[in-house]
Amino acid sequence: MKKMTAIVLFFCFHALLIFFQVHKQSIFLTLSYDIQKLQSQKIALTKKQHFLRYTLQNYQQPHIIAQTMQEKFDMQPIQLQQIQKTEQSEAVPG
């Protein structure tokens, strides 16, 4: 009887080890999938960051600022004939 109990315990123990091995592999696959998903998000965010930096540098260029002001706000550059000379008034002591 003891020999039969030992054999049953042996097989149950091995079945339990197989279950844990399968469980470990499923967790490993799940985490690998999560890593791949996060890496793809990192790549997408890096591309977006590069695009935004490029756009910011372009918008900081003086000719782009002038072009944007002319197109969106209908502003024109000041010409020399439009400048008027004003006289300074004396400051009144208060």
pTM score of the predicted model: 0.57
Cβ–Cβ under 8 Å, residues 68 and 62:
no
Contact 77, 66 (CB under 8 A): yes
Q: What is the pLDDT along the chain (94 residues), one digit of tens a residue?
A: 788 999 999 999 999 999 999 999 999 999 999 999 999 999 999 999 999 999 999 888 888 888 888 888 888 877 878 788 777 766 666 5
Angle between helices 2-59 and 62-72 (to 10 degrees): 80
